[in-house]
A = this chain, B = another copy of it.
Amino acid sequence: MNDLVLVNADHLKDFCEAVFTRAGADIETATDATRAMMHASIHAVESHGVRLLPHYITAIRGGRVNGQPKMEFTRVKAGSGLLDGDHGHGAHVAYVATDHAIEMARDAGIAAVGIRNSSHFGPAGAFTLHAAQQGFIALATCNSDSFVRLHDGATRFHGTNPISVAAPSGGDDPWLLDMATSAVPYNRVQLYKSLGQELPELVASDADGLNTHDPAAAEMLVPLGGEFGFKGAGLGGVAEILSAALTGMRFSPEIAPMPGPDFSTQREMGAFILVIDPDGFVGRALFEGGMRRYLEQLRQSPARDGMRVMAPGDREWVRAKERRTHGMPLDPVTLTEFEDLAQDFGVELPF
């Protein structure tokens, strides 16, 4: 932990936005891509946080990601539409899709936007939270390059295919679930490796699909559920069906690997955003009253010795408060990469 530098959140945000614009991205791309990374970093989801900035800049410079997309939205029916992202930054495309879905949901009660021709969208929870903060329930999902074996499978097949659901809580912070459909994210495996520790049961498999405790032998992730991994694999399939089949985009095994080496070819990724307006059902007042009652019951329910029961998101709001106050930790690799970016683009470092 001594190697981590704490950086002021506002300075970090300004730095990311400046680097994006100097790299040729338009203001909207710079703002949305930074907003999604900051969502992850401030909630301590480091895998999708600001450490991705150098990766995204490489993708924009190489042509994989279009920094100045001309997106096109088609409202197909009253509650459904397709957004062609013109290969823009996935977070920018996803925020725009969420806004379209919200607008249609106000009218139709429920609405969804299928995203076409997009790229890595980062933390799914950024977009559902955006909708929940405006009073809507939302679900967001995407697929990604193969990394997780199927139940009884022996090769990488699905991506970590996240599913996020958020809902207004009737109080301050929304209810927010954002989960990979693998047991753990790959960066967790890397963490065990760097610490020289054994992996827990049922999180990673070797090249034959056999589960391993050795992080160095980990060739693929295991679907959520361990012995009942058909559930995690099935949820990963839901992400494929909504993000790729419904949009005509690539399935996980067809998506070019996120880390390259090819950074010039567009990845043609899909994604899916669903928004529900409580006024299309029992009405916002009753819905929010119900959410308050539910969360009160949940937070007051007995916990195991020494533990505390939390609602999805509760841990994240605490981390966000800490990080807004004390700063965001940056690891040494990211610090060095940020120094290079600052030099390349003539942008002042945030630390």
Contacts and interface: CB of A to CB of B under 8 A. Distances in A.
Interface of A: 76-82, 107-112, 114, 116, 137, 150-155, 157, 165, 167, 175, 177, 179, 183-184, 200-202, 208-210, 224-228, 230-231, 233-235, 237-238, 240-242, 244-248, 251, 253, 274, 276-282, 286-287, 290-291, 293-294, 297-298, 301-305, 307-312
A278 B294 CA distance: 34
A234 B311 CA distance: 8
Given A152-B303, A298-B157, A246 B107 contact: no
A209 B78 contact: no
A154 B244 CA distance: 40
B165 A238 contact: yes
Given A303-B154, A311-B237, A79 B280 contact: yes
Contacts of A309: 150-153
Given A112-B110, A137-B246, A294 B228 contact: no
Given A107-B78, A109-B78, A110-B79, A225 B225 contact: yes
A202, A274, A282: most-surrounded residue (chain B CB, <10 A): A282
A48 B276 CA distance: 30
Nearest to A75: B109
Contact of A241 (B79, B137, B151, B253): B137
A309 B229 CA distance: 12
